[in-house]
Chain A
Amino acid sequence: MAIAAPDASEHGFDAWVAHKRQRRIGNWLLVAAAMAVLGWCVWDTIVVDTDWARMGGALGIAGTIERFFLIDWSLIPHLLVPALETMMMATLGTLLGCVLSLPVAWFGAANVTPSKYFFYPVGRFLMVLSRSIHEIIWALLFVGAVGLGALPGILAVAMRSIGFISKITAEAIENIDPKPVEAIRAVGGNQFQVMYYGIVPQILPVIIGTIIFEWDINIRRSAIMGLVGAGGLGLVFFRQMAMFNYGGVTLVVLAVLVLIAIGEIVSHYARKAVI
């Protein structure tokens, strides 16, 4: 082996070059295939499906966009209460989401789950289910179940946040240091004491950081809940859109931006304080 080394390395070099060339050809084929798929998508979307005549040309589009810039400032006093509602919906939804995600995280964390064969898959499935259904669909389901108002929005936001919060929490639980847990068990702590003194202090900073992050996202989610009948800024947006008052629509969008900027600032300082 050692004697044949120089020869082998030369052969190895050739093989390496050939391998590289093969890989390059493979990569080019992959790129070509991707480009073909994308080209077909572009053709289907822009040529087949779009009715360019109806848009009225560049001037027509510019005219529509221009109407969005005639901002209707008189709407501001009517936005304060919906903005507050949106903020409250996001906060309550996040809180409910946290409460609901505690059992899910407990089931879905491999090292503390009550049963590996039943509860663990259930927990994992709930996490995926919560994330895979869009908040609009959750809102539609809950509007059907509890009627119009802020409540379906809160429930929808809560259901959508379960997935993320419980996933991060379960991962944090799986990565804890097992020594404190063992120590508490060794001195005779029961299941509850193990959880409260052994696990919770270790994962608390992670959970609080996640909750703050999720709250920030939930503000933008709850801002659209009104589109399907659940109050807040989305309802004002929907109404302005129905009245074709595009200036008012722009103002609502600006209000959403302001709310999110506030949320971002608050969450920035809150996260700094926690971590």
Chain B
Amino acid sequence: MAVATVETAAEPRRSWSRYRHPSSTIRFAVILGILAFLGWSIAFLNIDLSRVLGAFPRLAEILATRYFPPDVGYVTDADFIHSVVRTLEMSLLGGFFGVACSIPLAWLAARNITISRRIAYPFGRLAIMCSRSIHETIWTILFVTVLGFGMLAGTLALTVFCIGFAGKLFSDELEAIDMGPVEAMRSVGAGPLQVFQYAVLPQVRVAFTGIAIYTWDVAFRAATVVGFFGGGGMGWYLKRTTQQLESTRVAAILLVIIGLVLLAELGSGWLRKRIARMR
């Protein structure tokens, strides 16, 4: 025993192992905990694992048999095309107002340049977090309840959604700026608004434009289903056809949604690339 200790003391590297006591044990305990939670959830939610795997062939089968010949005539109807235009309008307005509101909020919620860390910072954080945490469909339902059916409710819901989405990205971007110009402006006696205009904005202008375009892209994606809960636009058609079990029409609407979202994504990606090159 004594000899062994002497040996390990002389050559400590000899007893190397991939597993070290505190860190490896904690890691395995965490993994075990996660696995136990997963097992418990499967048991609690009463999930039949064979159905999970069966779901995909079943989905394919249903798509092939019930949804298959998409009713193209339905989506080339003038009313439907008008609703697509309205969806686009809602996403533009929601994106614009959302970005317009989220820039000042992001300013408050950026720790390094906020007006006051005690009052403004938590306020900005909380506002962004609340609008982010609640899903856009819940916002839609709430606005529809208060303001009635129509595009106004959808637009407001999208605005709140964009405040949460863009506000977080904006404030992250603001927290990463170079503080040199800010301090220079402050040291010559500039007020907070002047600091923001001359020291902060020029640094983040390009990034903000990119984020604003991305926000519109995401808002458009959300706008396609806002109508499902009464917010106006093409979602309403989706709801009507789903509830009347007109699967071929649902299929056509879904194809239109996928196509438009792909177009929006390609367009926003192209624009963002161009703007990033202007940097």
Point out residues on A near B: beta carbons under 8 Å. 37-38, 40-42, 44-46, 49-51, 54-55, 61, 64-65, 68, 84-85, 88-89, 91-92, 95-96, 128-129, 131-134, 136-137, 140-142, 144-146, 149-151, 154-155, 220-221, 223-224, 227, 231, 237, 241, 246, 249, 253, 256-257, 260-261, 264
Cα distance, A257 to B229, chains bound together (Å): 21
Report if B130 contacts A (CB, 8 A). yes
Choose among B137, B155, B229, B258 the residue that contacts A129 (Cβ–Cβ < 8 A): B258
Cα distance, A128 to B228, chains bound together (Å): 22
Q: List 8 A-B contacts (CB under 8 A).
A: A55-B147, A85-B45, A96-B52, A128-B265, A129-B258, A142-B55, A145-B62, A220-B135
Q: Are B59 and A49 in contact (CB under 8 A)?
A: no
- Which residues from 75 to 95 on chain B have a C-beta closer than 8 Å to any C-beta of chain A? 86, 89-90, 92-93
Q: Are B257 and A227 in contact (CB under 8 A)?
A: no
Q: Are A253 and B38 in contact (CB under 8 A)?
A: no
Cα distance, A140 to B240, chains bound together (Å): 13
Report if B261 contacts A (CB, 8 A). yes
Q: Are B258 and A44 in contact (CB under 8 A)?
A: no
Chain A residues whose CB sits within 8 angstroms of the CB of B46 once the complex forms: 149-150
Given the interface contacts A145-B58, A150-B45, A151-B55, does A38 sit within 8 Å of B96 by beta carbon?
yes
Report if B201 contacts A (CB, 8 A). no
Residue of B nearest to A48 (CB): B151
Stretch from B5-13, B170-178, B219-227 forming part of the interface with A = B219-227
Q: Are B134 and A88 in contact (CB under 8 A)?
A: no
Mask, B105-135, CB within 8 Å of A = 1, is 0000000000000000000000001100111
Would you give the shortest CB distance from B251 to chain A, in whole angstroms?
A: 10
Best-buried of B54, B55, B130, B232 by chain A (most CB within 10 Å)? B55
Q: Are A45 and B93 in contact (CB under 8 A)?
A: yes
Would you give the shortest CB distance from B70 to chain A, in whole angstroms?
A: 14
Q: Is the interface of A mostly helix, strand, loop or mixed?
A: helix
- Give how many A-B residue pairs fall within 8 Å (CB-CB): 149
Chain B residues whose CB sits within 8 angstroms of the CB of A140 once the complex forms: 242
Residue of B nearest to A222 (CB): B135
Would you give the shortest CB distance from B184 to chain A, in whole angstroms?
A: 26
Choose among A91, A131, A134, A224 the residue that contacts B138 (Cβ–Cβ < 8 A): A224
Chain B residues whose CB sits within 8 angstroms of the CB of A68 once the complex forms: 142
Chain B residues whose CB sits within 8 angstroms of the CB of A231 once the complex forms: 45
Chain A residues whose CB sits within 8 angstroms of the CB of B92 once the complex forms: 37-38, 41
Q: Are A49 and B137 in contact (CB under 8 A)?
A: no
Residue of A nearest to B27 (CB): A273
Q: Are A51 and B150 in contact (CB under 8 A)?
A: yes
Report if B44 contacts A (CB, 8 A). yes
Q: Are A224 and B89 in contact (CB under 8 A)?
A: no
Chain B residues whose CB sits within 8 angstroms of the CB of A95 once the complex forms: 38
Given the interface contacts A141-B59, A145-B58, A150-B47, does A45 sit within 8 Å of B151 by beta carbon?
yes
Cα distance, A151 to B148, chains bound together (Å): 33
Choose among B45, B55, B138, B254 the residue that contacts A145 (Cβ–Cβ < 8 A): B55
Report if B24 contacts A (CB, 8 A). no
Cα distance, A50 to B151, chains bound together (Å): 7
Given the interface contacts A146-B55, A151-B51, does A41 sit within 8 Å of B93 by beta carbon?
yes
Q: Are B228 and A136 in contact (CB under 8 A)?
A: yes
Q: Are A91 and B55 in contact (CB under 8 A)?
A: no
Q: Are A241 and B52 in contact (CB under 8 A)?
A: no
Cα distance, A47 to B62, chains bound together (Å): 42
Chain B residues whose CB sits within 8 angstroms of the CB of A256 once the complex forms: 133-135, 138
Cα distance, A202 to B153, chains bound together (Å): 47
